Amino acid sequence: MLLDVFIAMQRIFLVVEAAVHGTLSDVFRGYHYYSGQDCLEEWQARPYFQLLMAGMEHLHSQGVTHRLVTIR
């Protein structure tokens, strides 16, 4: 969802909400609810981290930057 647009100098800034199907934190909370464990094991967290890094790499390769990336 597009939240706001800023135009400054020769740049356009888009503020978006990209987590349309829930946040990463929702995934972790759901995992905790069903498994009873406090955190994911490394082998369980690795695919999420790899997807996040692949997405960041793609954005950077397209000249897109970000201000804040969190799991909230």
55-69 residue pLDDT tens: 889 888 988 877 777
Q: For the whole model, what pTM was predicted?
A: 0.56
In angstroms, what CA-CA distances link 69 with 11, 19, 35, 36? 21, 11, 26, 27
Distance of CA 3 to the CA centre of its chain: 16
Helix (H, G, I), strand (E, B) or coil at 41: coil
Place of tokens 């695919």: 47
Question: CB-side exposure of 47: number of CA atoms within 13 Å?
Answer: 5
Mean residue pLDDT across the chain: 77
Supply the pLDDT for residue 11: 78
Nearest C-alpha neighbor of 14 from the set 59, 70, 45, 55: 59
- Ordered by start, the domain boundaries in the chain are 2-61
